[in-house]
Amino acid sequence: MLTRPSLGFGLGLRVDHYDAVLAERPPIDWFEVLTENYLVPGGKPLNYLMRIRERFPVVMHGVSLSIGSTAPLNREYLRQVKALAARLEPEWISDHLCWTGVAGRNTHDLLPLPYTREAVDHVVARVRTVQDVLERRILLENVSSYVSFRDAPLTEWEFLAEIAERADCLILLDVNNIYVSAVNHEFDPLDYLNAIPPARVQQIHLAGHEDHGDYLVDTHDHPVRDAVWELYASAVRRLGPISTMIERDDHIPPLGELCAELERARATARCALEEAGTAAPVARAAALLRAGAP
């Protein structure tokens, strides 16, 4: 299993920026698109997306897979995702390590799982099925959380790492979510970061959050905070160059402002790699070789 070379630095594609992206050719290497926004055949959003796809690499990022649910997998949803992927030819497809609904109702929230062996077995089986249906490996993203289960013998990072290894899927590492959950649950975010297998990480998310004093909320409506930039630098020193993008879903600024923030990501990664010397790339290469070819 080999993760792909880095795509560089990207943004989440938002309606607010469609025209600017096509008119300005901004300094953005790739875009992440929200899968559910483009599952309806035809229409203006899909037309814009296909025009942008002609100029930029894209990846698909979903919020409705509900991989941790006990409800049966939604085969019609998977059929639609596969059809969109056939048309769009994304670099990869990702979703979240969570559950999103019950009894056929979508809560429109990313709900945490119990970190148990039984939950690992359950999720691994479902990921394998999804990958068989889609005929490709998927990425799973760690979510932010605000409550925890009383009986949880595994840490979140042990849970994520074991699922990725056993299901042979990849990881979308959300650095902001690690930081938010670390504050909320009082653990060291470096413990989380250092436990993630480097060869499984294919993408990184950066985003802003709200600070409520004794707890944080992942909101995607602020610039990336300084503490998250510091954690991102630690991630790059350990993992090497990984495809990185910034999410912004509310209070969306002009595209130029997000491009300036993306430049900070480039500079942070460049400095972190220089500080690490050859240690991070060599460690990552060794991990990839141990994992073997696809």
- pLDDT score at 3: 58
| pLDDT attached to residue 4 | 73
pLDDT digits (tens, 9 = 90+) for 43-74: 899 999 999 999 999 999 999 999 999 999 99
Check whether 102 has a pLDDT greater than 90: no
Q: Is the separation of the CB atoms in 120 and 159 below 8 Å?
A: yes
- Using the predicted structure, report yes or no on whether residue 292 has a pLDDT greater than 50: no
pLDDT attached to residue 150: 85
pLDDT at residue 264 greater than cutoff 80: yes
pLDDT over threshold 50, residue 1: no
Mean pLDDT value of segment 174-179? 98
Whether 27 is in a domain gets the answer: yes
In angstroms, the CA 56 to CA 240 distance is 23
Label residue 284 by pLDDT band (50, 70, 90): low
In 3D space, the residue among 47, 55, 51, 59 whose CA is nearest the CA of residue 25 turns out to be 55
Per-residue pLDDT, 84:
97
Cβ atoms of 164 and 140 within 8 Å: the answer is yes
pLDDT tier at 288 (50, 70, 90 boundaries)? very low
Cβ–Cβ < 8 Å for 217, 177: no
Helix (H) or strand (E) holding 117: helix 117-134
- Report yes or no on 257 lying in a domain: yes
The pTM (predicted TM-score) of the whole model is: 0.92
Q: Looking at residue 2, what is its pLDDT? A: 47
What's the one-letter identity of residue 239? L
Decide if 161 is inside a domain.
yes
What do you get for the CA distance between the two ends of the chain, in Å?
A: 4
Determine the distance from the C-alpha atom of residue 188 to the mean position of all C-alpha atoms in its chain, rounded to a whole number: 20
User: Taking the CA atoms of the chain, what radius of gyration do you get in angstroms?
Assistant: 18
Number of domains composing the chain: 1
User: Average pLDDT over the chain, rounded to whole?
Assistant: 92
| pLDDT for 36 | 96
Give me the pLDDT at residue 106, please. 75
CATH code of residue 281: 3.20.20.150
Dihedral over Cα of 271, 143, 186, 287: its sign:
negative
Question: What integer is the mean pLDDT of 286-294?
Answer: 41
Report pLDDT digits (tens) over 110-124: 889 999 999 999 999
The string of DSSP codes covering 86-115 is: HHH--S-EEEESSEEEETTEEEEEEE----
Element (H, E) at 9: strand 9-12
Above 60 in pLDDT, residue 267? yes
Give me the helix-helix angle, 75-88 and 117-134, nearest 10°.
Answer: 50
pLDDT of residue 270: 97
* pLDDT over 50 at 89, yes or no: yes
Q: Is 95 a domain residue?
A: yes
Domain that holds residue 250: 9-291
CB atoms under 10 Å from CB of 150, counted, come to 5
In a domain, 4, yes or no: no
pLDDT tens per residue, range 191-241: 999 999 999 999 999 999 999 988 999 999 999 999 999 999 999 999 999
Q: Tell me the C-alpha distance between 228 and 206, whole Å.
A: 8
Cα–Cα distances (Å) from 269 to 73, 89, 139, 190, 230, in that order, read 38, 28, 22, 17, 10
Q: For the segment 159-171, what is each residue's pLDDT rounded down to a tens digit?
A: 999 999 999 999 9
Residue 3 domain flag: no
CB 218 within 8 A of CB 177: yes
Both tokens of 4, joined, read 């792909």
The pLDDT assigned to 248 comes to 97
Amino acid identity, residue 169? C
The two structure tokens encoding residue 258 = 């997000």
In this structure, the dihedral spanned by the alpha carbons of residues 12, 16, 18 and 19, taken in order and rounded to 10 degrees, is -150
* Domain membership flag for residue 2: no
Q: What is the pLDDT of residue 294?
A: 35
Cα dist. 77→66, 73, 101, 130, 252 in Å? 11, 9, 14, 11, 29
